[in-house]
Structure 1
């Protein structure tokens, strides 16, 4: 039985192209991961604040390298897409931004991000999120991108609101953290929502 609704984005749209490097205002880029990023990823995951909001820890540089290999494979599989956020001049790693849980046929994904301690408070995450979501809407053709965060993560909520992700509600007991189940705020942007301010 044929489907009445066509796919929003055709399969192969990501895998059929090289993962791009995107310019980010303020002297940053989001770029594909490299093996050489493994030491910086390992170092980033030693930060207690970053560990608070993530279920994984990196015990070694070789483990971080394995993550990077998985992140590259995820692009080819069109299930997730991970980028490094880097200083455009020095290539220093300042964070990560990603599209997770991609469902091309439905035109949907979820944006996720983190920054290293030295990059916080400088608008790195908001600028990277805007660059990536604008690309995902305009170049890929996604229709809806969600952003979720623990209700206890006020910094992540500020990123969501600064970047035009409308608060849609609270998902009760939605994600297990190390300290127990957390309620999660749900935000979303829809293609055509209008311009977002770059912070």
Structure 2
């Protein structure tokens, strides 16, 4: 039996999946859905020690990457998540950004990102995160976006702050990494927050 909401959904069911997942433009970047030709670079990304340090879930093969990409397409169709390749003008992959755990009733989603080593310290992550955030809050209808990262991941903390995500607190011993449990910083950006440059 389906439950009844006492409030109106922030985003009506079917509103996102009614259209293909959009490509988003940022200064010098194109954020687009992943395709099978991206599997080698995606798989290689998870061999990078920094990405491995902060991401415990890793694909075991390029074939599994393609399975993940199929899951990403289903996530969009089911309005659960949206996953983008961060590219230079639609071609060379520089990183990844995603909205996960989409709650259309409350208008809340979680952000995640990583950048390949050669593209770090060039503002790629913050531009991609700012672009996805603007789309989610201004066009898609989300009200609140959250992200968390290990308190030891100072680079991710800088990206969050630069992208307008306010540090709200620390979740103690909230995630398991390869070297044990980590405290996690919780950041959030809500509709109406001051835009970032």
Indicate whether the TM-score tops 0.5. yes
Provide the aligned C-alpha RMSD in A.
1.2
Aligned to 1:6: 8
Matched, 1:15 2:55: no
Could you tell me how far 1:61 is from its partner in structure 2? 1.3
Count of aligned pairs: 195
| In structure 2, C-alpha distance between the alignment counterparts of 1:63 and 1:5, rounded to whole Å | 40
C-alpha deviations, 1:30-80, integer Å up to 9, x for none?
001111110110111110110111112233211111111111111111111
Q: 1:21, 1:29 within 8 Å by CA — same for their partners in 2?
A: yes
1: CA distance, partners of 2:78 / 2:5: 23
- Write the distance in 1 (CA, Å) between the matches of 2:25 and 2:162: 19
| 3-state SS of 1:184 partner | strand
Query: Aligned pair 1:78/2:79, yes or no?
Result: yes
* Corresponding residue for residue 180 of structure 1: 180
1:1-199 pair list within 5 angstroms: 2-25=4-27, 27-88=28-89, 91-197=91-197
| Residue 193 of structure 1: how far off its partner (Å) | 0.6
Is the 1:46–1:58 contact (alpha carbons within 8 Å) kept by the matching residues of 2? no
Please give the alpha-carbon distance, in whole angstroms, between the structure 2 residues aligned to 1:195 and 1:42. 34
What secondary structure sits across from 1:11 in the alignment?
coil
Gaps of 5+ in 2: none
Alignment partners' CA distance in 1, 2:6 and 2:57? 41
Q: What TM-score does the superposition give when structure 1 sets the normalisation length?
A: 0.95
Q: Distance in 2 between matches of 1:71 and 1:119?
A: 24
- Which consecutive segments of 4 or more residues in structure 1 shift more than 2 A? 1-4
Distance (Å, rounded) in 1 between the aligned partners of 2:143 and 2:44: 35
| 1:75-133 deviation per Cα after TM superposition (whole angstroms, max 9, x unaligned) | 111111100000106x0010000001110110000111001111101000000000000
TM-score, with length taken from structure 2: 0.96
CA deviation after TM superposition for structure 1 residue 16, in Å: 1.0
